[in-house]
């Protein structure tokens, strides 16, 4: 560090300490609360979060998004409200993982998800995808991303992680995760390693109930903790706790989010993490139904959390804030403990350019000097949202990166009888369309299937799209369509058939017709375990339009199958498997 940089750091610390010293307890606690609201413009709930609760940040979901332009305007409104009410500039956070978990899907370069990136096989691409996504988020004023997912997905029955993971290898999850962290943070967006210490080997969705993982510490050091140790070494800005109980790490039956042994003992003291510890949403059933949001918020701070995430309801956000305030006044939490978290949060805002010298001095009522490096020109809100030039979103190079990675991810697992590439023959294409399989998915819209993409490439197609949950009532109709004499081959796109018996039954019924048949897994590659008789099987890991197009090209032989499985599909098809027809 140069002498000038050391001086700048000392000055920054002085500004942060001055700002911290000027805050009353309510304002400090507000910095530790991050909440969400329903709406695409400023609402009374959003204003209350800022003006009354003095929140440290806002979390966006798809309910807040209609277009990039709208989102940039909303961000500006929120930051203006913070400035007008004397609240430090806000974290604007989001779950933009890519693939099937993304809150902004239109008007941006939507990157493939993590398992698709891992299947494509390039850590450099993992960095590039994260950097592009981060750059576009930053141009919209989003400065904190709840990504990447560092869970090692080695349980085929996992209902909530799956393709959100880089796969079953701890080492690959660590190296690809580190690349994604660098990409986001090089773009100026805070990265969040989640879900500590590992949600990959659960068979319960913590949105619905409290999972328990029985692994001993030796196994966790060898598997679950490997990517998180690497993330800490990489300098990740934030780590998100999992609402999971690990008996090997915590004697009392407490989820990690509420466990001092895990958040403070393991993450802070043993692993040496000094960034932000953020909770997963405290309204998830694993917390809300067992402890209550308000009491759990107090327990989380006592455990070592810096940021309490309450994503939805204003009454619960207020209850959490009041509970924390009462805990301090009642002596349950020492105010110095609050100061430590707020100091850490302000330092990270400074590091990411969310809190500038000009903003800090304005909050302190000081006049900004023109000769101070880093002076704020214009309003705090204007600095929080960079000018969104058309070239900043969906530029040709970014789109080419997304396309190339998607095409490289398509994985051929089986190809008996040389069914692939498809012949130029009349084809029934059945697509089980995406449905909400976990709360994190929200609503997934889609009216195009594999048939549309195959037809666009010149194949004679009978296109059938059926919602994944409606496969059962439609199975007779689909089987009758497949039996028609003019249908010479069949393609079925499954969507989490692993958790949908009707889809598996339909595939088995269609296999029984004896016609050439290929299955494409449009999300969970583990679908093959439900119908191992399928003569041809490929995985594309997601059903976004880009992935459907990549799958169609590979099925027709327009591009080669280059992907490799990031997870094992039984002993016959281990991780790393991928045919080259």
Catalytic residues: 207, 280
Give the Cα separation of 521 and 539 in Å (integer). 5
Are the CB atoms for 387 and 89 separated by under 8 Å? no
| Strands 536-539 and 411-415, sheet pairing | antiparallel
Residue 111 has a CB neighbour count (10 Å cut-off) of: 28
Q: How far apart are CA 410 and CA 214, in angstroms?
A: 34
CA dihedral of residues 554, 560, 566, 567 (deg, nearest 10): 60
How far apart are the C-alpha atoms of 451 and 229, rounded to whole Å? 44
In whole angstroms, what is the distance from residue 307 CA to residue 32 CA? 5
Q: For residue 369, with 0-12 CB atoms within 10 Å meaning exposed, 13-18 middle and 19 or more buried, which class applies?
A: exposed
Output the six-digit token pair for 295. Answer: 């009491």
Identify whether 197 is preceded by a cis peptide bond (ω within 30 of 0).
Answer: yes
| Residue 399 Cα to chain centre, angstroms | 20
State how far the Cα of 195 lies from the Cα of 178, in Å rounded to an integer: 15
DSSP 456-470: HTT--EEEEEEEGGG
Q: Is 338 exposed, middle or buried (0-12, 13-18, 19+ CB in 10 A)?
A: buried
Structure-block tokens of residue 210: 């409290």
Residue 62: exposure state from Cβ atoms within 10 A (0-12, 13-18, ≥19): middle
Report the SS3 class of residue 533: coil
CA–CA dist 350, 200 (Å, integer): 33
* 75 phi and psi angles, rounded to 5 deg: -60, -45
DSSP per position, 418-441: G--SPPSS-EEEEEEE----SGGG
In the chain, the largest separation of any two C-alpha atoms, in whole Å, equals: 82
Burial degree of 124 (CB within 10 A; 0-12, 13-18, 19+)? exposed
List of residues 6+ apart from 5 with CB closer than 8 A: none
Q: How many C-beta neighbours within 10 Å does residue 136 have?
A: 26
CA atoms of 327 and 299, how far apart (whole Å): 10
Using alpha carbons, list the distances in angstroms from residue 445 to 66, 324, 341, 448. 13, 39, 39, 10
Neighbours of 467 (CB within 10 A): 15
Full DSSP string of 77-96: HHHHHHHHTTPPPPEEEE--
Structure tokens at 373: 């490096």
């Amino acid at each position: 560090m140069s002498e000038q940089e050391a001086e700048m750091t000392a000055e920054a610390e002085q500004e942060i300490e001055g700002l911290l010293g000027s805050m009353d307890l309510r304002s400090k606690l507000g910095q530790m609360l991050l909440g969400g609201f329903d709406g695409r413009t400023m609402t009374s709930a959003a204003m209350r979060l800022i003006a009354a609760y003095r929140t440290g940040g806002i979390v966006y979901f798809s309910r807040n998004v209609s277009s990039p332009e709208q989102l940039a305007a909303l961000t500006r409104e929120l930051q203006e409200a913070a400035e007008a009410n004397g609240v430090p500039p806000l974290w604007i956070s989001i779950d933009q993982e890519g693939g099937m978990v993304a809150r902004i899907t239109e008007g941006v370069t939507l990157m493939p998800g993590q398992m698709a990136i891992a299947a494509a096989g390039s850590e450099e691409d993992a960095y590039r995808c994260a950097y592009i996504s981060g750059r576009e988020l930053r141009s919209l004023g989003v400065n904190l991303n709840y990504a990447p997912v560092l869970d090692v997905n080695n349980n085929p029955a996992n209902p909530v992680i799956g393709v959100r993971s880089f796969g079953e290898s701890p080492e690959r999850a660590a190296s690809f995760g580190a690349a994604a962290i660098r990409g986001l943070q090089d773009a100026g967006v805070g990265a969040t390693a989640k879900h500590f210490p590992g949600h990959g080997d659960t068979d319960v969705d913590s949105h619905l109930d409290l999972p328990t993982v029985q692994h001993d510490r030796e196994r966790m050091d060898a598997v679950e903790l490997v990517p998180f140790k690497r993330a800490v070494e990489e300098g990740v800005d934030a780590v998100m706790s999992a609402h999971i109980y690990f008996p090997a790490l915590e004697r009392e039956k407490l989820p990690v989010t509420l466990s001092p042994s895990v958040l403070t003992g393991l993450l802070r003291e043993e692993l040496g993490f000094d960034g932000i510890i953020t909770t997963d949403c405290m309204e998830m059933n694993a917390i809300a139904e067992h402890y209550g949001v308000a009491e759990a918020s107090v327990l989380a701070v006592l455990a070592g959390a810096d940021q309490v995430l309450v994503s939805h309801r204003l009454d619960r956000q207020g209850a959490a804030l009041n509970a924390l305030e009462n805990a301090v006044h009642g002596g349950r939490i020492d105010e110095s403990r609050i100061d430590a978290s707020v100091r850490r949060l302000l330092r990270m805002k400074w590091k990411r350019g969310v809190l500038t010298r000009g903003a800090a001095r304005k909050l302190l009522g000081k006049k900004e000097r023109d000769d101070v490096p880093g002076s704020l020109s214009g309003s705090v809100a204007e600095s929080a949202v960079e000018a969104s030039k058309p070239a900043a979103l969906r530029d040709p190079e970014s789109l080419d990166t997304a396309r190339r990675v998607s095409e490289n991810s398509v994985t051929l697992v089986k190809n008996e009888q040389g069914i692939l590439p498809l012949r130029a023959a009349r084809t029934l294409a059945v697509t089980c369309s995406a449905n909400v399989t976990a709360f994190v998915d929200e609503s997934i819209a889609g009216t195009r299937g594999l048939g549309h993409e195959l037809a666009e490439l010149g194949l004679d197609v009978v296109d059938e799209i059926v919602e994944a949950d409606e496969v059962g009532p439609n199975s007779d109709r689909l089987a009758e369509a497949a039996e028609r004499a003019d249908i010479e081959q069949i393609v079925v796109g499954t969507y989490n058939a692993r958790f949908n018996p009707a889809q598996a039954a339909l595939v088995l019924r269609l296999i029984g017709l004896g016609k050439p048949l290929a299955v494409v897994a449009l999300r969970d590659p583990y679908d093959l375990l439900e119908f191992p008789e399928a003569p041809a099987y490929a995985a594309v890991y997601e059903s976004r339009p880009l992935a459907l197009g990549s799958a169609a090209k590979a099925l027709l032989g327009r591009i080669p199958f280059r992907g490799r499985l990031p997870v094992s599909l039984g002993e016959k098809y281990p991780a790393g498997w991928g045919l080259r027809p």
